[in-house]
Amino acid sequence: MKTDHPASQKLKMMKASLRCLIFGILGLLPLIGVPFALAGLWFSYVARREEQRYWNPAKPQRILGLICSAFGALLWGAIDTILIYQAGNNYINS
């Protein structure tokens, strides 16, 4: 079993934090943001898991990405669900 060097682990953690921010911001896009928001939530989890062992200088970016991801997933997930329901309901009733 190969163990990564602590510096390598910290670098992966910081990259995951920045990816969380990027995907979180993309998660705010109307209608297509849900997959990006879910990816942002995943990267937040990956970075948070490593924060228990190492200090993360990109923690503010991870937190902002987490907020954007959660907001985007909830908002656009609900709106997408309503739009799909309405389209299906209109199709069935016509």
- Each domain of the chain, given as residue ranges in start order, spans 9-93
Predicted local distance difference test score (pLDDT) of residue 3: 65
Judge contact between 62 and 24, C-beta under 8 A. no
Predicted local distance difference test score (pLDDT) of residue 58: 93
Q: Which positions of the chain have pLDDT values less than 70?
A: 1-3
Q: Read off the tokens for 8.
A: 């390598």
Predicted local distance difference test score (pLDDT) of residue 15: 96
Question: pTM score, two decimals?
Answer: 0.85
Ramachandran angles phi, psi of 11, nearest 5°: -65, -40
C-alpha radius of gyration, the chain, whole number: 17
Predicted local distance difference test score (pLDDT) of residue 4: 76
Burial of 53 (0-12, 13-18, 19+ CB in 10 A): exposed
Length of the chain: 94
Predicted local distance difference test score (pLDDT) of residue 2: 58
* Nearest-angstrom CA–CA distance, 77 and 88: 16
Q: Read off the tokens for 17.
A: 């934090």
Predicted local distance difference test score (pLDDT) of residue 61: 97
Q: Which of 80, 68, 78 is nearest to 20 (CA)?
A: 68
